[in-house]
């Protein structure tokens, strides 16, 4: 599909799982096969090395290897967004640069977790990664995991950065998301499958779906039905 600022990585992306062999090694063959199947089944793009992709437990080298393997499997026309989240800005930037070198088209960067930095530090974290890598970036707002909410005011400020292009939203705050979308050009992607439709209905670009690993057709069907105006029960 044609990409645009309103949906910079497509509309339905899969938060892809990371396969491993029985002895715990990264299974690049299985990852490549899964990626090809997901794109064939209708996903516009893939998010690699997110939480669903075992990012807390894979090494930096494994993360880069996964991106390279999936890029080789799906070719250059498929948007690949790579997780580059860390509580350490310097480490996030290292992950971002490695993802770019491995073939990623964009980054998914979570708010620094555990230490719960103030909003000025949160904004500085995202700006530093965006400044230092050169790839477009999705801000990942998931306060239930990080302990830090990226408030709408901070997102409005971050929207001024040319490479901060969107939000993966797990805030469960539809009103806040609506306000931010109205005030900025940020592309919103639902990160909670149960909110894919409500967020899409108020203007989101689409979703980054975990369910799409198992049932991409069902995720696409909901979007397509809404686009056709089929909003009844």
What gap in Å lies between CA 108 and CA 82, rounded to an integer? 6
Region for 75 from its dihedrals, namely left if φ exceeds 0, alpha if ψ lies in -120 to 50, beta otherwise = left
Check 63, 100, 113, 168 and give the catalytic one: 168
Is 168 catalytic? The answer is yes
Is 188 catalytic? The answer is no
What gap in Å lies between CA 144 and CA 149, rounded to an integer? 8
Check 63, 100, 140, 200 and give the catalytic one: 140
Distant-in-sequence contacts of 121-124, Cβ < 8 A, 24+ apart: 122/148, 122/150, 122/154, 123/154, 123/157, 123/158, 124/89
**β-strand partners of 14:** 46, 209
Segment (H or E) for 119:
helix 119-133
The residues annotated with a catalytic role in the active site are 140, 168
């Amino acid at each position: 599909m044609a990409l645009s600022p309103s949906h910079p990585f497509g509309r339905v992306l899969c938060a892809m799982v990371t396969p491993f062999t029985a002895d715990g090694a990264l299974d690049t063959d299985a990852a490549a096969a899964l990626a090809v199947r997901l794109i064939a089944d209708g996903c516009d793009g893939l998010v690699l090395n997110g939480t669903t992709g075992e990012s807390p437990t894979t090494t930096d080298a494994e993360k880069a290897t996964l991106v390279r393997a999936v890029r080789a499997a799906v070719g250059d026309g498929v948007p690949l967004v790579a997780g580059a989240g860390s509580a350490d800005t310097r480490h996030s930037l290292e992950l971002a640069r490695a993802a770019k070198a491995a073939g990623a088209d964009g980054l998914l960067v979570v708010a620094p977790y555990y230490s719960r930095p103030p909003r000025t530090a949160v904004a500085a974290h995202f700006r530093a990664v965006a400044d230092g890598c050169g790839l477009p970036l999705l801000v990942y707002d998931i306060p239930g995991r990080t302990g830090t909410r990226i408030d709408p005011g901070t997102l409005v400020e971050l929207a001024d950065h040319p490479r901060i292009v969107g939000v993966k939203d797990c805030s469960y705050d539809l009103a806040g998301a609506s306000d931010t979308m109205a005030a900025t050009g940020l592309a919103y992607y639902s990160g909670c499958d149960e909110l894919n439709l409500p967020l899409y209905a108020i203007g989101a670009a689409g979703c980054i779906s975990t369910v799409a690993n198992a049932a991409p057709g069902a995720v696409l069907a909901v979007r397509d039905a809404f686009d056709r105006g089929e909003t009844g029960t």
